[in-house]
Amino acid sequence: MAGLVLDVCDLSVIRSGKVVIKDVCLTVDEGEFLGIVGPNGSGKSTFLLAVLGLLKSNSGTVRIYGHPPLSRELHQKIGWVSQAASYLPRNLRLTVRELVRLGTLHSGNLYDFDSQNRRNRTTQAILMTGLENVQNTEIARLSGGQRQRAVIARALATEADLILLDEPLVGIDRESRNSLLKLLDNLCHEEGKTIIMVSHDLTAISQTAHRIVFLEETIRFDGPTSKLPDLGKLASLRGIEHVHQD
């Protein structure tokens, strides 16, 4: 039986005096691929930041593997890929391998530069993301899809069991997008990772995620991808009325 990874109860966040998310409740099990979709400004990124403890909630609770966000017990168990992760500076003189290896760094090994364990974890993350052929290439020379894989590899190098991604499909072409989605699917099915991915690309995420949450201030839909309502029903769930009369 899969264990409970994330338990969110009655979570609400107010930013600049505006309610961004309200009374959000959901759970995520081990090995699940959860897609969170919704229009711009619907609270998707705010939700992830609140789950991570990077943004203070106004009410409600978050437990990750039974612990509050930022707990010491969660050290290296969470991999975070932000919206800005793949927009690395063009003048960054780091190779893929060097970037991924940064994911192995923590307070306990700051002075252990040449650890075999760190080398092994770096190599494994590169292999898992299919970057072995460009591992010695500078980040600036990679395509958008390759850069996205590189930052995911950096997250994997932490040996994280839970991976959170905020809009990882932005700015990459169709072929790279399909390849990335396949990678994420493999990480769930073959590596047992739990993935929570925020995206505005409803079509792409519905082809990959096991379960979809439609978030707009609060949860409007939560269920298997196969049960996602059509656009007309989604509009109704959002309180949008048809403007044309029959």
CATH of the domain at 7: 3.40.50.300
pLDDT at 109: 45
Give me the residues of the chain with pLDDT under 70, please: 1-2, 84-90, 106-114, 231-246
Q: How many CB atoms lie within 10 A of CB 10?
A: 12
Residue 201 belongs to what domain range? 1-77+197-246
Q: Is residue 159 a part of any domain in this protein?
A: no
pLDDT value at position 225?
87
The token duo for 69 is: 């966000």
Work out the end-to-end distance of the chain between its first and last CA atoms, rounded to an integer number of angstroms: 51
Q: Using the Cα atoms of residue 225, residue 226, residue 227 and residue 232 in order, give the sign of their dihedral.
A: positive
Helix boundaries (H) for the chain? 44-52, 96-102, 116-128, 144-156, 174-189, 202-206, 231-237
Give me the number of domains the chain comprises: 1
Is residue 130 a part of any domain in this protein?
no
Please give the pLDDT value at position 63: 97
Give Rg (Cα) of the chain: 19
Q: Which residue has the tokens 């932005």?
A: 170
Residue 244 lies inside a defined structural domain of this protein: yes
CA distance 153 to 103: 8
- CA-CA distance, 174 to 194, in Å (whole number)? 24
Asked whether residue 158 is domain-assigned, the answer is no
Kindly report the number of other CB atoms within 10 A of residue 225's CB atom: 15
CB atoms within 10 A of CB 162: 21
Residue 161 within a domain? no
Question: Is the backbone of residue 137 left (phi > 0), alpha (psi -120 to 50) or beta?
Answer: beta
CA distances from 28 to 3, 4, 7, 48 (A): 9, 6, 7, 13
Query: In the prediction, which pLDDT does 110 show?
Result: 47
For residue 129, give Cα distances in angstroms to 96, 115, 166, 168.
Answer: 11, 22, 18, 14
What confidence tens digit (pLDDT) does each residue in 98-144 have?
A: 988 988 875 444 445 567 777 888 888 898 888 999 999 998 888 88
- 204 falls within a domain: yes
